[in-house]
Structure 1
Amino acid sequence: MATEELNAIEIEIARNRLSSIAEEVGSALIRTAYSPNIKDRRDCSAGLYAPDGTLISQAEHIPLHLGLMPTMIANAIAEYGAENIREGDVLMTNNPYIGGSHLPDVCVISPLFYDGELIALVATMAHHVDVGGIAPGSMATHATEIFQEGIRIPTMRLFAAGQIQSEVLALLMMNIRTAEKTRGDLIAQVSANRLGLRRIHELVDDWGVDGFHRACDSLLSYSERRTRAAITKLPDGTGTFTDYLEHNGLYAAEIPITATVTVAGDQVTVDLSETADQVDGAVNCSYAVARSCAAYVLKVLADPTLPSNAGLTRPIEVITRPGSLVHAEFPAPVAHGNTQTSQRVVDTIFGAFNEFTEHLVPAASSGSMSIVTIGGIDPKNGTYYSYVETYGGGQGANPDGPGASATHTHMSNTKNTPCEVIEREYPLRVERYEIVRNSGGSGLYRGGEGLRRSLTLTRGKATVVAGTSRVATRPWGLNGGGDGGPARVEARTNGEVRELESMGSLQVGVDGTVTIQTAGGGGYGEPEAGR
């Protein structure tokens, strides 16, 4: 492999050409997907990888997906054996214990062979609206083991030498409620990957195999240099901060997440080993999620323009303790490690940085992806449906300005599902969808405001799972800024309105309504008169 690095102009050309391929793969997946969760909400991600899983380039999609996919893909390839991969194969897995997130997030990996040599991988990750388990949508809060959350897919072939493995697909679909949607979304991932393979093949036709490797190596080295240079501009120091989850999925509980952050020269260490043990409920997460959070925070604070590839993470050491909340081990349930715990890990790492920096860290955002799933059998056609959506909230204010309102923050980066799509696709009616006024924390710069959405079932009966956070606590303000307003979950059944815990599930019938209100962001700085 060539070792001479590209010059600055060549690196920029390579960076843009590779990132454009990743973006095109993601766009193709969105355009061809079946479920609103992917085609409207865009709950998916795409990237290009070296044969060993090293990240080369990725699209600007979901920070959580993008940060953990390199770990998952590297482990998947090692588990399957690179020597066993053939041209035309397509691998898939959703195993959280090798670095995945939760079971609905299925990773599809396509190898690129050029003149018989495996030189790259194209991969997409997408959140599927159902993968089985004890609740429609496969996001049960009350699961106590992974087997209750859905079907777990080991690293295996969906396609072998270009031929779909019909029996494998049939086995999967037999265990999934929304088989038509899930099958369509899986094949959309395969098709998007194929487009990426064609584009990389065209690129290698231009550059040659050695030129391709040289470009990838140069790009990673460039990213590492820039990252280390950005870290040196941060003050050296150590800070420790603890924040808490308020619910473990089964019952209210104060669960500490502790981060100790050390900046020394051009290296950052994030130690999460003092975090609580893994819990009985579904808020545990894989160690790859923790790594993803650390990389995200560093990029936000050091330089948001840093290229997102393996060079970005080389100066970061993340320490976790196996068997802890942020390094879950089999058979711990993990469905809400994404939606809840990752957001609190981000808050905690930000808090640790704030201990030894000034006017750098933003106030806390809403603190949850605030997920709602509603599913059952539609009596209109006798088929299963599964509505899945995460809701935005208030963004924390920062030293330079106020937080945005009703937006996805930190590890989430999806869009919303339009009200018209919800009412077309599901037996649901959107009663209200609005910004919660005055829910942002006060300050020199105010925190962003949360949102409120009410959904009513129009026919049949359904299982509702709602999971948010900051109901019992509030997103913290900084430097004299006020805390953000709390979240709320309410249900109206048979004319009776009751307030629910931050995480839970319930059964609703016709005209049953669920309302979720997300938290506002914390404010920043002492308020001035009239602000």
Structure 2
Amino acid sequence: MIDDPIGLSIVQKQLDHIARQMGWVMMRTARSTIFSQSHDFSCFICDAHGNIVSQADGLPIHTGGGGFAVRAVLERFGREIADGDVFILNDPYLAGGNHLPDYTIIRPVFLLGELLAFCCNRAHQSDIGGGAAGTYNSVATEIFHEGIRLPVLQLIAAGKLRRDLWELLLANTRCPDLLDGDLRAMIGSTEIGARRLAEALSLLRQGTARDYLNGILDYAEHLVREEITRLPCGVYEGEDESDNDCFGPADIRVRVRVTVSDKDLHLDFTGSSPQISGFKNSSIANTYSSVYLAIIAFLGPQLPKNQGAFRAVTVHAPEGTVVNARSPAPMTMNTIFPATNIVHACWKALASCDPKRACAGWGKLLHCVTSGRRLSGETFVLYHGHGLPSAGAVRGRDGFPGMGLVPTLCGSRLANVETQEQFYPITIHKHEMRCDGEGAGEFRGGPGMNYVADVEVAAEYSFRGEGGYGLTAFGVNGGSAGQSGSMTLAAANGEPFDIPQYGVRNLPPLRINITSPGGGGYGDPRRRNPDAVLCDVQGGIVSPKRARDVYGVVLTTDRRSVDADATALLRSRRQTASEALRA
């Protein structure tokens, strides 16, 4: 192990900065708003063996299992890899992908003729063919229904683009204009990353670049194992559920048993439900990403986020289950479900291990993808990201409002409303925080959002919803669950359409109304700072009635301040009643 802690820290910071630079290049040059506005892509760096050394940019569900993809490139091309090559892949069974919409561009980095690293960009494409526009085919029963499958392919050979492969990719999308620009942006981002990385590594002492990359992995391993020693050894269990298999009611469980030993964590998903007919099955890379996200978020944000940090974590995911499906099971939904279920199951198990670090659940998705044709004849694909659910609370922090789904861990962004209206045939009437949607707690969950928009053309809708049918974000340590959401679609005359929980429908111009689910709360609501409750009431997040009934906070008649005496009396009475009930 290299004995240069300052140098190791500098190298890690440089790698992280380069990963972020790649992300900035992608956002500024990509054609689709899903990238330039919403950041549904991730840039990461691996060493020559496929170990992640930086995942500072983007979404952890993309990057945590990124090493599977790089190792697939190494297995397929090995010693044939040359400077100037660029590879592309997406297949979860053949190429270490998580799901088909995420194309991954992988560029090797050479220094003095030696392969030292790979710069990578994994990005969710607007459309990759398949049975439904916009990549989410809710009625798929096998992966062949979900779009084009890419094993490890050499897109650029020693600096020369393979035109035949490029044309094949453009022929298998409904949005070739977008894909053409987005792929060029992905390639460009990795080119900039590779150039910066080679420059940074060349400044190290001669012959030690590989030693420094190994050193940062070893150091991360040391820090994580040290953190694990602070946990009580034992076996802890958790589970999370889904109530449908995309075609009807079903009881689908993700179960995990977490074994904490002296310096290791072992996660065993034995007992999880068998793989299902719908597209909510996980690839092994996606399951590892979900586990790594859950573990690092629980242990602490200060820890390095590279492959060394994951050496202390082992995973057993039985083949043929929803957490490691056999081919040809469909799995486009897996970066959301069962990824959310995997993270939640892990957090529930770990909460019983160390309650102070517990993470409350995030709201579950309630969404639809709209695709249709512009007046110019081009296909558009619109994600209603302003209707996404809210985050759960942790000790010391309320849950964030409208920050997306737990597998993104706030790495995605909300597109600008005005930009959405310019690019798509849509008028957005409302985007505001919901009242009384939060999971109550000493630290409350995110409140959820109210989103109302008119889609002005006939379009195809792919529905995917868990958060509007009773499944909620769990609370921890006395905090309550977040509120469930709702979604309605109605014609111009106000008549509502009958919409499925999962499915594909062709509908005329309509109004969409989403009340998104709230996040779970942390701790006893009656311990919440009364001034924080006052702020929530004044901001329209909590009603005065809920402030009194749930948080035990009484406001003055004008709602401009807390009635301290009445609040103290109300809280003391409830405390006495609770103690008597426990006795």
With the length of structure 1 as denominator, give the TM-score of the two structures.
0.95
* TM-aligned CA deviation for residue 294 of structure 1: 1.5
- State the secondary structure of the residue aligned to 2:280: coil
* TM-aligned CA deviation for residue 498 of structure 1: 4.2
* Counterparts of 2:435 and 2:37, CA distance in 1: 26
Matched with 1:94 is 90
Matched with 1:484 is 482
- In structure 2, relative to structure 1, the CA distance for the partners of 1:141 and 1:452 (3 Å cut) is farther
Deviation per CA, 1:482-504, whole angstroms, max 9, x where unpaired?
22110222111353124644333
> What does 1:175-194 correspond to in 2, within 5 Å?
175-194=172-191
Match 1:74 to one of 71, 74, 78: 71
Deviation per CA, 1:460-493, whole angstroms, max 9, x where unpaired?
x211123232322222222332221102221113
* Counterparts of 1:479 and 1:309, CA distance in 2: 30
Deviation per CA, 1:2-24, whole angstroms, max 9, x where unpaired?
xx504121111111112111111
What root-mean-square deviation, in Å, do the aligned CA atoms of Structure 1 and Structure 2 show? 1.7
Contact 2:367 2:388 in 1 (8 A): no
Match 1:85 to one of 54, 57, 81: 81
Deviation per CA, 1:214-269, whole angstroms, max 9, x where unpaired?
11111111111001001111121211122101222222322111011111111001
* Counterparts of 2:464 and 2:206, CA distance in 1: 48
* Counterparts of 1:331 and 1:494, CA distance in 2: 41
- In structure 2, relative to structure 1, the CA distance for the partners of 1:209 and 1:149 (3 Å cut) is farther
Residue ranges of structure 1 left out of the alignment (5+ in a row): none
* Counterparts of 1:30 and 1:189, CA distance in 2: 10
Matched with 1:405 is 401
* Counterparts of 1:64 and 1:123, CA distance in 2: 14
- In structure 2, relative to structure 1, the CA distance for the partners of 1:209 and 1:277 (3 Å cut) is farther
* Counterparts of 1:153 and 1:389, CA distance in 2: 28
Matched with 2:369 is 373
Deviation per CA, 1:374-409, whole angstroms, max 9, x where unpaired?
11222x101111113545322222233432222234
User: What amino acid maps onto 2:79 in structure 1?
Assistant: E
> What does 1:101-116 correspond to in 2, within 5 Å?
101-116=98-113
Identity %: 27
* TM-aligned CA deviation for residue 427 of structure 1: 1.4
Match 1:41 to one of 38, 46, 50: 38
> What does 1:267-286 correspond to in 2, within 5 Å?
267-286=264-283
**Which stretch of structure 1 is more off in the superposition, 189-198 or 399-408?**
399-408
Deviation per CA, 1:106-143, whole angstroms, max 9, x where unpaired?
00001122333222111111111111111110111111
Match 2:423 to one of 418, 422, 425: 425
Matched with 2:290 is 293
Matched with 1:63 is 60
With the length of structure 2 as denominator, give the TM-score of the two structures.
0.86
- In structure 2, relative to structure 1, the CA distance for the partners of 1:389 and 1:195 (3 Å cut) is farther
- In structure 2, relative to structure 1, the CA distance for the partners of 1:28 and 1:137 (3 Å cut) is same
> What does 1:66-465 correspond to in 2, within 5 Å?
66-78=63-75, 80-97=76-93, 98-207=95-204, 210-368=207-365, 370-378=366-374, 380-390=375-385, 391-412=387-408, 413-459=411-457, 461-465=458-462
Answer with 1 or 2: which has the greater Rg: 2
**Which stretch of structure 1 is more off in the superposition, 214-223 or 392-401?**
392-401
Contact 2:155 2:166 in 1 (8 A): yes
* TM-aligned CA deviation for residue 526 of structure 1: 2.6
**Which stretch of structure 1 is more off in the superposition, 444-453 or 145-154?**
444-453
- State the secondary structure of the residue aligned to 2:482: coil
* Counterparts of 2:206 and 2:170, CA distance in 1: 39
Contact 1:489 1:501 in 2 (8 A): no
Match 1:13 to one of 10, 15, 23: 10
User: What amino acid maps onto 1:505 in structure 2?
Assistant: V
- Answer 1 or 2: higher relative contact order, Cα 8 Å, separation at least 6: 1
Contact 1:468 1:518 in 2 (8 A): no
Contact 1:389 1:417 in 2 (8 A): no
User: What amino acid maps onto 1:213 in structure 2?
Assistant: R
* Counterparts of 1:517 and 1:247, CA distance in 2: 21
* Counterparts of 2:503 and 2:443, CA distance in 1: 34
* Counterparts of 1:241 and 1:256, CA distance in 2: 10
* Counterparts of 1:209 and 1:195, CA distance in 2: 23
- In structure 2, relative to structure 1, the CA distance for the partners of 1:194 and 1:486 (3 Å cut) is same
The runs of 4+ residues in structure 1 deviating greater than 4 Å are: none
- State the secondary structure of the residue aligned to 1:81: helix
* Counterparts of 2:420 and 2:325, CA distance in 1: 34
* TM-aligned CA deviation for residue 371 of structure 1: 4.4
User: What amino acid maps onto 2:553 in structure 1?
Assistant: G
User: What amino acid maps onto 1:475 in structure 2?
Assistant: A
* Counterparts of 1:9 and 1:354, CA distance in 2: 34
Contact 1:53 1:74 in 2 (8 A): yes
